[in-house]
Amino acid sequence: MTDRLSPKAIMDKLISFPTVSRDSNLPLVDWVESYLNSHGIEAHRHYDESGEKAALFAHVGPWIEGAVILSGHTDVVPVDGQPWDSDPFTVTERDGKYFGRGTCDMKGFDAIAIWALVEAQHRGVTRPLQLALSYDEEIGCTGAPPMIRAMQPVLPKGSAVIVGEPSMMKAVTGHKGGYGYATHVQGFEVHSSLIHTGVSAIMFAAPLIEWANRSNEANRDKAPDEIAAMFEPSWTTLHVGVIEGGTAQNITAKDCRFSMDMRVVPSESADDWGDAYKARVREVETQMQAIHPETRIDVTQTFNVPGLKPEKDGEAEAIVRQITGDNESHVVSYGTEAGQFQEAGYSAVVCGPGSIAQAHQPNEYISVAQFQAGVDFADQLVARLQEG
């Protein structure tokens, strides 16, 4: 029988795989699958279209519905250009902290979840436990929806999902939705002295960006509803973080590309916001085409992360609160895969060790105390599943 690795030893191994989102995660998936198999746990994969990445999911306990699912992602953000004091892909302990890319976000939790699944297998549980590890979370939570769809015909459907994003082991019951639109404004080049005969893609992109500014002002000034009031800030926000275009200062720009990202409070419709943006795009495009009919604006959705809505008598929330004793309300403005599980019919909550403030940073870390708090939580969860 293969040794049962400690949570720390599993984390060490997971961190050693540099699973930056742009690269394959298959070496990590191979190792996890092999480790689970060595303990008599059958793991299942779902590949992305390239075949270079895969989600992994598994079930322990009686073959019945109603499992608790521990869910995490396997990808991490890049370390390029960041001033690390140690190898980011080797866990280094100092000053009561474990340093390494993904220790906080979120291979620390992944390690605890894998450990818990093996513990549940050896201890025996009367209520099942499932593990779900996705890919491509860091580039817009694109890997979770196909994983969720793939799980349902293969495993008995679980009922309560704990997504282990870093929350200092608090029960996060709501988060904003995240939606991204790649926008390509295609203008018509002329010498800038004849601007009235040309169409500057940059200058016609400006009204769309100004629409975002005006929308932010209007959202900020209106009274938030009960759900929106839980968030900081308490309104839907729009943001342009990347823009490029133009050839020279004396040529009307032929192209301008930018991102339009939205963080939508759960009580508002993401579709309505998307429709409002596209309506403004069509207005600007009509103005462009009145000057030169071959100009256009293309809008492509790049990511779609539904918000997590607080549940009335939510099962996942209740499990976390019973174990942690946390009875306060917590919401966050960033997105997670919890909203995608909720959208698919699961009760979902976010609860994991570490602070989101450490995520994506050089010298990313999780404190030893927080990591141990996560282990203690998983240990108590398995004990509860033994009782049914």
Q: What is the pLDDT of residues 68-117, one digit of tens each?
A: 999 999 999 999 999 999 999 999 999 999 999 999 999 999 999 999 99
Q: What is the tens place of the pLDDT at every residue in 2-25?
A: 799 999 999 999 999 999 999 999
Confidence of residue 327 (pLDDT cuts 50, 70, 90): very high
pLDDT for res 313: 93
Smallest CA-to-CA distance from 114 within 74, 152, 149, 143 is with: 74
What single-letter DSSP state applies at residue 155? S
pLDDT for res 285: 98
Beta bridge partners of 133: 56, 72
What is the average pLDDT across 214-235? 95
What is the average pLDDT across 297-323? 95
Q: What is the tens place of the pLDDT at every residue in 167-210?
A: 999 999 999 999 999 999 999 999 999 999 999 999 999 999 99
pLDDT for res 159: 97
Q: Secondary structure of 44-109 in the HEC alphabet?
A: EEEECCCCCCEEEEEEECCCCCCCEEEEEECCECCCCCCCCCCCCCCCEEECCEEECCCCCCCHHH
Q: What is the tens place of the pLDDT at every residue in 352-372?
A: 999 999 999 999 999 999 999
Kind and range of the H or E run holding 324: helix 315-324
CB 161 within 8 A of CB 347: yes
Percent of the chain predicted with pLDDT > 70 = 100
Place of tokens 């207005």: 283
pLDDT for res 92: 98
pLDDT for res 333: 82
pLDDT of 1 above 70: no
d(CA 333, CA 339): 12
pLDDT of 45 above 90: yes
Q: What is the tens place of the pLDDT at every residue in 116-138?
A: 999 999 999 999 999 999 999 99
247 CB-side CA count, 13 A = 15
d(CA 235, CA 32): 41
Residues whose CB falls within 8 Å of the CB of residue 151, separated by 6 or more in sequence, listed in order: 44, 46, 57, 130, 132
Amino acid identity at 194? L
d(CA 384, CA 388): 6
Residues whose CB falls within 8 Å of the CB of residue 286, separated by 6 or more in sequence, listed in order: none
pLDDT for res 334: 83
What is the average pLDDT across 207-236? 96
pLDDT for res 106: 97
pLDDT for res 388: 75
d(CA 327, CA 142): 32
Ramachandran angles phi, psi of 214, nearest 5°: -65, -35
